[in-house]
Structure 1
Amino acid sequence: MSDADEQEKGLSLVRMAEALVFASSEPVSVKALEERLPEGANIAAVVQELAAHYGARGVQLVKLGEAYAFRTAPDLAFLCAREEESKRKLSRAAQEVLAIIAYHQPVTRAELEEIRGVEPARGTLDLLLETGWVKIRGRRRVPGRPVTYGTTQDFLDHFNLSAIGDLPGMEELKGAGLLSARIPAHFSIAPPSAQADELSDEEEPLEADDLEELGLFTPRDGEK
Structure 2
Amino acid sequence: MTTATRKRKPADEGGAVFDRELNDLPPELRWREWMGRIEAVLFASAAPVGREDLARLVGQGASVEMLIEDIQAELGGRPYELAQVAGGWMFRTRTRFAEAIKVAADLGEQSLAFTEMELGVLCAIAYHQPIDRAGLAEIFGKEVSRDLLARLRTKDLIASGPRSPRPGAPHTFVTTETFLVTFDMQSLRDLPELELGAGE
- TM-score normalised per structure 1: 0.62
What percent of counterpart residues are identical? 30
Q: 1:33-91: CA deviations, max 9, x gaps? A: 23333445422332233223324422100122022211111222222122545465433
Specify the alignment match of 1:76 in structure 2: 97
Deviation at 1:97, TM superposition (A): 0.4
Q: Is 1:97 matched with 2:118?
A: no
Contact 2:101 2:107 in 1 (8 A): no
Structure 1 residues 69-148: aligned runs within 5 Å: 69-81=90-102, 82-86=106-110, 88-140=112-164, 144-148=168-172
CA distance in 1, matches of 2:169, 2:142: 22
Count of aligned pairs: 172
Specify the alignment match of 2:48 in structure 1: 27
Q: Is 1:9 matched with 2:33?
A: no
Higher strand fraction (1 or 2): 1
Segments of 5+ residues of structure 2 without an aligned counterpart are 1-24
Aligned with 2:163: secondary structure? strand
Segments of 5+ residues of structure 1 without an aligned counterpart are 172-183, 189-224
Structure 1 residues 125-204: aligned runs within 5 Å: 125-140=149-164, 144-168=168-192, 185=197
Q: 1:84-142: CA deviations, max 9, x gaps? A: 45465433222210111122223222222222332212322122111111111333467
Contact 2:137 2:144 in 1 (8 A): yes
Contact 1:101 1:150 in 2 (8 A): yes
- TM-score normalised per structure 2: 0.69
CA distance in 1, matches of 2:113, 2:91: 24
Structure 1 consecutive aligned stretches of length 4 or more whose deviation exceeds 6 Å: none
Deviation at 1:30, TM superposition (A): 2.8
Aligned with 2:146: secondary structure? coil
Note closer, same or farther for the CA distance 1:157–1:42 as it changes in structure 2 (3 Å cut).
same
Contact 2:163 2:170 in 1 (8 A): yes
Higher relative contact order (CA 8 A, sep 6+): 1
Note closer, same or farther for the CA distance 1:19–1:41 as it changes in structure 2 (3 Å cut).
same
Matched to 1:22, the amino acid is: F
Structure 1 residues 22-61: aligned runs within 5 Å: 22-61=43-82
